Amino acid sequence: MDMNAVNSLPFEDFVRIFGNVVEKCPMIAAAVWSQRPFASFLALETAISDFIDALPESGKEGILRCHPDLAGRDLQMGTLTQESREEQSRAGLDALESAERTRMAQLNEEYKARFGFPFVICARMNDKANILRQLSERCQSERAAERARAVEEVKKICHLRLQGLVRTDAPNKL
């Protein structure tokens, strides 16, 4: 859809369509809806990013906790959101060998125990080998730095999900 269509969406439709651009956080879509009309794709993306940045640290961690473990129980049980399932599949996380699956589970648990939220990385911008490497390396990070890094990954995911919903080539008529 183009920005004119985005700007004309009623509240309920806007939240339904954009409610998962940040994983399982429809409240973000609800909050930015009132900022319409958006002059451009970038304006919509910036509104979402600014909302996230304005959250207290506990709110940012809440967003991170909405993310599933990579190659975790939700993937195995088929309970991921459609977006997460597609992203994890593209990265090859649905086809891990037994040793990779075990290592991923161990690192996910170590990461969550250290930081209190799941490891977040933009799976569409990585493959399984890089994800495993990043997970291992980031387990050694300091909490504040890791939270900031994870929030930036959320924004990358959001950008790609928005691109899948909104045409960025059409001019907007306010």
Look at residues 120, 110, 125 and name the one whose alpha carbon lies nearest to residue 147. Answer: 120
Distance (Å, whole) CA 140 – CA 147: 13
Distance (Å, whole) CA 102 – CA 142: 25
Catalytic position from the list 14, 45, 60, 67: 67
Q: Give the 3-state DSSP-derived string for 62-108, with helices as H, strands as E and coil as C.
A: HHHHCCCCCCCHHHHHCCCCHHHHHHHHHCCHHHCCHHHHHHHHHHH
67 in active site:
yes
How many Å is the maximal CA-CA distance in the chain? 54
* Strand ranges (E), the chain: none
The catalytic residues are 67
